[in-house]
Structure 1
Amino acid sequence: MEKLHHPKAALTQYSHALNLAPNSALARFKKARVLMSLKLYPDALVELEVLKNLAPEEANVFFLLGKCFKGLGRRADSVRTFTTALNLDAKVRLEEDDGVCAC
């Protein structure tokens, strides 16, 4: 649904997936990404905080969290989490065009 540009339908599917498997890091990451595309930054932040605990060593999580903080206008938190993403993966490239970290 997300690839078909139906973010609300994708959000419903990711929410359902998380009801079935609450510890699914992939479903939570994709749900947070859809929430951010809908500019629902506070909801995305909740998902990303849980995800940060599920995958504390994943640079992509911190990159998306930095983008979320940026969307919320929390510049200092944004810079801090982007720095964490870079420290976790020195090869990380921050790409603004698709909102995904390319490693």
Structure 2
Amino acid sequence: QLLLAMKDHNFEDLQRFYEQTIGPLAEHDDRKQGDLIRTLNGFFEANGNLAKAAQDLDVHRNTLVYRLERISELTDMDLNDADNRLMLHLALKIQRVLATLPTT
């Protein structure tokens, strides 16, 4: 469904997918001046390696673990599940695509 939305330039479906997956994190970050989206990005950039992600994000490993637990709570997605990780990673990629579009 996501691939078809991209092929057909159906950005409303992409926006909806983003809001359903990453939306709670964006809202949290806006409200609390948080870093959950940045943390999730760092986690994926480090291929799930907690030590590397913590180092790259310049946070203590325990801080990273706490943030990942918070991400799981807010998204209602277990990060140990490969399908959930894929959905969240896709949502982050979609966020980048949507950010390049002109606002209407």
TM-score (norm 1): 0.32
**If the length of structure 2 is used for normalisation, what is the TM-score?**
0.32
Which protein, 1 or 2, shows the higher relative CO under an 8 Å CA cutoff with sep ≥ 6?
Answer: 2
Structure with the higher helix share, 1 or 2 = 2
